[in-house]
A and B are shown apart, each in its own frame.
Chain A
Amino acid sequence: MPKVARPKPVLLPELCKGCGRCIEACPKQCISMGTEINQASGLIPVIIDADVCNGCGLCISACPEPYGLTAAGYELEDPKDLYGHRRPEQEGPVTIPDQRIPLPQCEPLVLKGTYASAIGAILAGCRHVFGYPITPSTEGAELMAKLLPQLHGAFLQAVSEVATVNHMYGCGGAGLPCMTFTSSPGFSLMLEGISYMIGAEVPTVFVNVMRGGPGLGNIGPEQADIKLVCRGLGHGNTHGIVLAPTTPQEMLDLTMEAFQLAFKYRNPVIIAADGYLGQITGRVNLPETMVKPGLPDWAVYGDEEHRHNLINSIYLSEPSLEKHNEHLNAKFSLMTTEEQRSKTYKAEGARILVLSCNTPARMAKGAVEKLRRQDVPVGLFQPVTLWPFPIDHLKTWLAPTSGTDPVTDILVVEASAGQLEDELRLALSHAGIQGVRLHHLRHMGGVLPQEPEVIEAVRNIHSNQPQEVTS
């Protein structure tokens, strides 16, 4: 056999950390520990006796450094020139936009709230759902498990909520719409992952069908995760848009919208429903169009175009992490100005507003209807976004520009120990609004405020309303 001259290893002393693994690997014993400190690295590189070396290459495969010992060499720029500008970014991939596809015109469906939400997700283009069964949210996952395989999507039952949120982190990081159905204790378990999603800007949708707590509590309807979804999305400076549906129709509509918002802001969106909403059946109209999702430019999809992308929440240097936080907070500010949503019912001319969301808002709506028939000047203000709180909308009722009398009293009706009221108070405080009197009607533990109680509470406020407003 003709003898082929094999290339000898190229050692770059600057990149050698002097670990000596190559010394043990070399059959010819031509490598030895060095003695001189390299001025660039401050380490002591090995020394190769090239005369003895036969180019077997074993030392290269034993070197833990990518470019310390190589066959081809490595063009190391002059270390003193390396501290210059970072090389320009390559041209990145282009975002493929979502497509809106017309749906056939359909008769109204009769759907359970969780089903409506699942169908909303399917219509929003979601074909990947991850979840862990928990009452009263599980039916959403069950429907997905039935339907998604027929659309070549997948429902994966995760080992836990912790695994769920991380499956979503991977799938959402790949740029695809994905979601989960969960309920309060499960949502608590997902918070670390949600913080990572916010940090790494991964869009995902969580449907949290809130149940009674704390602890195992019960499976009755509660709204006691409001503080969690509005103020406590894991560690760090975090926020996410929180949508609060009231009917199965809104479960569908807001789930669809949640995906749009999640991708618009590259941020998780939470749908906060109560246990009743998960289980209630009602009339649901399908929208006119459904979505075929595109693929965002930032996705780590696993193809040539997106090869250079990174999903990551690490910013080692303090200034860079501060800058990243400023970027995230700028997004939160934009959400706050752009995405406030609310609904009202008979609020014109109201001196008293009942402020309520989810199922209690329906009880409140019934109460308003009955009270209005008895000429009590009351209306309903229903925040649809709990975060950002729709304070800009509420403000217009508290200080109307026209000659009408302003609202003097707000009755917060909720199934929690004042968590919705706290959101209201924070929003009023930030907006510098004073003078409106706050009242509350609260239940906890799976009990919802009922229409007759709301009527009674409003009547009490109405009969005690003084002529002048005091702060």
Chain B
Amino acid sequence: MTTATAFFHKFDRHADGKGLKGATTHYCPGCGHGLIHKYIAETIADFGIQDRAIAVSPVGCAVFLYYYMDMGNTQAAHGRAPAVAIGHKMANPNSIVISYQGDGDLASIGLAEIIHAAQLGLPISVIFVNNAIYGMTGGQMAPTTLVGQKSATCPAGRGLFEGLPMQVAEIMAQLSGTVFVERTALYDQKTRKRTRKAIEKAITLQMEGRGFGFVEVLSECPTHLKMDPMQAEAWVRDEMTKTFPLGVLKDDDRAPWFEMKPPEFDPERVAELVGATSVAPERYCTEFPEHLAPEDVSLKLAGAGGDGAQTAAMLVTNAAINEGFDATHIPSYGPESRGGTSYADVHVAKDEVLSPASPSPNILIAFNAPSLAKFGPTVHTGGTIIYDSSVISEVPEFATDVKVVPVPFTEIAQSLGKVLVKNVVALGALQEATHLLEEDSLLFAVRRSLESKCAMIPINEEAFRWGVKAVKEGVTHFE
């Protein structure tokens, strides 16, 4: 018989350890919690893992688990102990995390957390205390209350209207994430021994990194069952086990798998991962395009989802920032960016973009007729509209001082064998029609964006040159 235990020698957290509370639990006489605490404390002491152990206490009568357990302790919100336990396990994979919950906490309010924690399968140990009644709130119906059992909230006895009792161990056993599931009890020497063994097993599986262990313990709540402790033991044995049969429901032989290396803080590696480079990009612009706007040029690129308006906008933004200007890109996002219309607001500023939206852009690139009709009239005095003349046949009237440039983006892209590059045709056209940056600035950005798809670079370069050429030569249709 072991005497080692991971209990505090004196319970200083229990009413400041004053009086007998320094050496006794807060539980009612005959309550099962004390026994389960004892088996956990003994197991942890026997295994020599007290320094690594963290107990996560629930809301319910066991909320004060941290009074007793001489180990790391975290008190969790109602139902969330397994989620908190996962946070601890990921923070320190070497810690041994015990999540302790009652039936209201685990099987009612916390059902989503326990099922997903179990299915995630990280090696933590969950001890589920099922006493078929709410203890701390004073004897209300639990999800595990038996059919016909009376409680403060089913005074006539639980019936169909209240729903049938939830068999949690069976649910846990069905989940592929768990490795070990057992239901035990405390009503006699044999079941108590099984409980102790099951707790040992769940913790062992955690120590070996094999997975998620779950022990449901049928427990006595003499106070709210309105029985003496002996009667309560008999009730669990004779009544509860009919609905909640004891036994090992699952014991998978899973090889140890859990491993998390210590986080890395190498600055070179971090810089590389976030795409930072100390190599300055080549610059081709000598000055800001003041012929378009003195300090800040605004653009709008609009089309249907899939036209590549966002990609083109990103390329302009990248190119401008590489040139040492400030630039921003706001995409339209959400449902419309996955189908429907898609537009992007871009600004290129000499020093700093102030307002990043483009309610009246200096330049509009329209990939389809609705975009041209919607945004054409908003173009700033003296601005430029470039549109896809392959798909837009009817062009509305615009102010006379707005330059309108039709370019067959789609036809050119089709003739190159890849419709997708029409946005790069548009970029070539943009450059030639406005001289926003330099051709090489945009081509550099195009090449850089295709670093991982080098084979695509030639066709994109060709698309860009065709865009330039089409504007230069006034090509509005392309066979």
Contacts and interface: CB of A to CB of B under 8 A. Distances in A.
B77 A192 contact: yes
Nearest to A246: B356
Interface string B1-44: 10101010010110011111011110111111111011001000
B91 A174 contact: yes
B66 A312 contact: yes
A365 B84 CA distance: 43
A82 B19 contact: yes
Interface string A439-463: 0000000001011100000000000
Interface string A68-111: 10111010100100110011000000000000011111111110
A169 B87 contact: yes
Nearest to A43: B29
A30 interface: no
Q: Which of A158, A171, A174 has the most CB of B within 10 A?
A: A174
B340 interface: no
A107 B276 contact: yes
Interface string B36-61: 01100100000000111110100000
A15 B20 CA distance: 7
B91 to A, nearest CB: 3
B116 interface: yes
Contacts of A57: 1
Nearest to A192: B77
Contact of B72 (A150, A160, A307, A451): A307
B88 A154 contact: no
B163 interface: no
Given A71-B1, A176-B91, A279-B333, A162 B73 contact: no
Interface string A39-79: 01101000000000000011011111111101110101001
A285 to B, nearest CB: 10
Contact of A83 (B1, B18, B28, B228): B18
Contacts of B24: 15, 17, 41, 65-68
A106 B271 contact: yes
B20 A302 contact: no
A65 B41 CA distance: 12
A310 B265 contact: no
B356 A170 contact: no
B88 A173 contact: yes
B85 interface: yes
Contact of A108 (B30, B71, B228, B321): B321
Contact of B333 (A105, A135, A313): A135
B454 interface: no
A366 interface: yes
Given A106-B277, A193-B77, A286-B271, A167 B87 contact: yes
Interface stretch (B92-100, B250-258, B393-401, B436-444): B92-100
A277 to B, nearest CB: 9
Contact of A87 (B3, B10, B76, B269): B10
Interface in A164-183: 166-176, 178
Contact of B80 (A65, A106, A171, A193): A193
B362 interface: no
A107 B281 contact: yes
A415 interface: no
A394 interface: no
A123 interface: yes
Contacts of B63: 314
Given A62-B189, A159-B113, A280 B84 contact: no
A427 interface: no
A286 B83 CA distance: 34
Contacts of A158: 83, 116
B354 interface: yes
B228 to A, nearest CB: 8
B327 A282 contact: yes
A447 B396 CA distance: 27
B84 A173 contact: yes
B391 interface: no
A24 interface: yes
A122 interface: yes
Contacts of A313: 75
B313 to A, nearest CB: 8
A353 B152 CA distance: 61
Contacts of A72: 3
A122 B327 CA distance: 24
Contact of A21 (B19, B84, B233, B262): B233
B20 A450 contact: no
A363 B355 contact: yes
B155 interface: no
B260 A279 contact: no
Nearest to B30: A19
A107 B279 contact: yes
A300 B51 contact: no
A304 interface: yes
A292 B265 contact: yes
Contact of B229 (A19, A200, A359, A452): A19
Nearest to A308: B70
A302 to B, nearest CB: 2
B297 to A, nearest CB: 13
Contacts of A18: 29
A307 B50 contact: yes
Contact of B97 (A302, A362, A365): A302
A140 B356 CA distance: 21
Contacts of A135: 333-334
A266 interface: no
A347 interface: no
B224 interface: no
Given A66-B23, A162-B80, A101 B267 contact: yes
Interface in A374-410: none
Contacts of A125: 265
A170 B115 CA distance: 18
Contacts of B10: 87
Given A154-B90, A170-B56, A170-B88, A309 B73 contact: yes
Interface string A176-209: 1010000000000000110010001000000000
A170 B279 contact: no
B249 interface: no
Contacts of B317: 110, 281-282
B194 to A, nearest CB: 12
Contacts of B280: 107
Interface string B286-326: 00000000000000000000000000001001100100001
B226 interface: no
Contacts of A156: 86, 90, 120
A159 B112 contact: yes
B92 A60 contact: no
A275 B19 CA distance: 57
A151 B17 contact: no
A127 interface: yes
A178 B30 CA distance: 42
B264 A66 contact: no
A59 to B, nearest CB: 10
A452 to B, nearest CB: 7
Contact of B30 (A15, A21, A82, A292): A21
Contacts of B64: 314
Interface of A: 12, 14-15, 17-21, 23-25, 40-41, 43, 57-58, 60-68, 70-72, 74, 76, 79, 82-83, 86-87, 101-110, 119, 122-123, 125, 127-128, 130, 135-136, 147, 150-154, 156, 158-160, 162-163, 166-176, 178, 192-193, 196, 200, 218-219, 275-276, 279-283, 286, 290, 292, 300-304, 306-314, 359, 362-363, 365-367, 369, 448, 450-452
Closest 6 A-B residue pairs measured CB to CB? A170-B87, A302-B95, A64-B34, A366-B355, A174-B91, A366-B354
12 contacts: A63-B34, A66-B5, A67-B23, A68-B24, A101-B265, A101-B267, A107-B276, A151-B263, A154-B90, A176-B91, A309-B73, A314-B63
Given A196-B77, A369-B354, 4 more contacts: A83-B18, A281-B330, A314-B75, A367-B355
